[in-house]
Amino acid sequence: MTTVPGPIDPPPRLLMGPGPISAYPSVLRAMSAPLVGQYDPFMTAAMAETQELYRGVWATRNDATLLVDGTSRAGIEAALVSLVRPGDRVLVPVFGRFGHLLAEIAERALADVHTIEVEWGQVFPVSAIEAAIERVRPSLLALVQGDTSTTMNQPLDEIGAVCAKHGVLFYSDATASLGGNDFEADAWGLDAATAGLQKCLGGPSGSAPITLSERAVEVIRSRGRVEAGIREEGDPAASDFVRSNYFDLGMILDYWGPRRLNHHTEATSMLYAARECARLVLQEGRDQVIARHRLAGAAMLSGVRGLGLEVFGDVAHKMSNVVAVEIPDAVPGDAARAALLDDFGIEIGTSFGPLHGRVWRIGTMGYNAREDAVLTTLAGLEAVLRRFGAPVAAGGGVEAASDVYRGARE
């Protein structure tokens, strides 16, 4: 006889890694709200509300602002597969793992992918990106804003003008940065941007906010094809249609738009979560949320330095919501992370590729971008470091972080 397990009962965790993070309690409550049909007036109204809320989060007037059902990677893939025709040149500046991901997805979309790279821990000067655009002549620039693998935050504010000058579509993956760092979709000239809930927006993974400029929508519409079975006379039938059905943004736009053309069944509970994430940002104030992340990040940065830990990368271009610290030589990185989780219920992250086993990544995002979470993490980390023989100043991390918070209150 099969043994039936009990109800799901996760252990209490303080998620202070690079994501996912601990969700806002009201987001979890929203996800438990009753389901309704996908064309129920309440549902379509909630979809419209969510679109308007995310226009505020993205700082855009784009009508085409909506959700892609799936993790943040679903949003990335939807953007790239819908905007890039086979054979199109795509330029991807790579400064960490997730730049490589953009190149990978564009390559799978049969693009002619070109990359430029800088050393992990650095970002690109605008001049280097413009020189690459002039050399490659791409149809699209795909650029990560905040890459959690290195914790670097690529400045975007001048790149939109460069892309417009050269007739290049500008897409950014803001999965790890939106809500915790400045992002101005319209003012910076973005044609497309995608994100996820599980970082600074303070929700679970599983929904990908996206915003598209009119120019991006024109490209997507030029590749339109409505699937057989729901196709009507006069519907588009482009020969170079988007090669993914699920990630065809043209059909997704029709699903979210006035036509409400059936494409998939909206992930209702995730819609509720995404709506609540955006509502919380705008209720607190978008600038205030970004400032809260900046303060928490500054406190954590000061705290890890107060413990005597070295910080990886160009701190002048560090994301506000995550810091990478060099693991002390005598400390086994994975064993120390496991001890922090087992004994204190606190999760921090390792990294990828050349940084795996070299750094820990500690996040201060969303609901956890707050003083008690920062101080609790630093206290637990100090105890674990002492256990493994690292020389740390007693109370140094907590005191340094507390100083930052005290200074902000004065």
Q: What is the pLDDT of residues 364-397, one digit of tens each?
A: 999 999 999 999 999 999 999 999 999 998 999 9
pLDDT digits (tens, 9 = 90+) for 164-206: 999 999 999 999 999 999 999 999 999 999 999 999 999 999 9
pTM of the entire structure? 0.96
Q: What is the pLDDT of residues 47-60, one digit of tens each?
A: 999 999 999 999 99
Q: What residue has token string 């998939």?
A: 264
- Tell me the pLDDT band of 228, cut-offs 50, 70 and 90: confident
Question: What is the average per-residue pLDDT within 282-296?
Answer: 98
Above 90 in pLDDT, residue 336?
Answer: yes
The gap between the terminal CA atoms of the chain, to the nearest Å, is 65
Mean pLDDT computed over 208-231: 95
Place of tokens 């902000």: 408
The angle formed by the CA atoms of residues 21, 23 and 27, to the nearest 5 degrees, is 155
pLDDT at 1 over 90: no
Hey, which residues does 144 pair with through a beta bridge?
A: 173
pLDDT of residue 410: 87
Q: Pairing relation of β-strands 322-326 and 359-363?
A: antiparallel
Q: Indicate the Cα dihedral angle 252, 255, 261, 264, nearest 10°.
A: 70
Instruction: Average the pLDDT over 99-119 and give the result.
Output: 97
Average pLDDT of the residues in 15-20 = 96
Helices in 183-332 by DSSP H: which ranges?
214-221, 249-256, 268-284, 286-306
Q: What pLDDT does 253 receive?
A: 97
Indicate the pLDDT class of residue 351, thresholds 50, 70 and 90. Answer: confident
Give the pLDDT confidence score for residue 292 in this predicted structure. 98
Separation in Å, CA 289 to CA 17, 199, 215, 377: 19, 13, 30, 21
Amino acid 353: pLDDT: 85
pLDDT confidence of residue 229: 86
Please tell me the total number of residues recorded for the chain in this structure.
Answer: 410
Amino acid, res. 61:
R
pLDDT at 279: 98
Residue 300 confidence (pLDDT): 98
- Tell me the average pLDDT across 353-371: 95
β-strands 169-173, 140-144: how paired?
parallel
pLDDT at 243: 93
What are the DSSP calls for 273-307, one per residue?
HHHHHHHHHHHH-HHHHHHHHHHHHHHHHHHHHHT
Q: What number is the average pLDDT over the span 55-67?
A: 98
Q: With a cut of 90, say whether residue 2 has pLDDT above it.
A: no
Residue with the bigger pLDDT between 236 and 118: it is: 118
Average pLDDT score over the chain: 96
The confidence score (pLDDT) of residue 84 equals 97
- The two structure tokens encoding residue 290: 């970004």
How large is the greatest C-alpha to C-alpha distance in the chain, in angstroms? 74
- CA dihedral defined by 249, 254, 255, 256, rounded to 10 degrees? 90
Q: Which two tokens stand for residue 256?
A: 């979210």
Side chain identity, residue 82: S
pLDDT digits (tens, 9 = 90+) for 195-207: 999 999 999 999 9
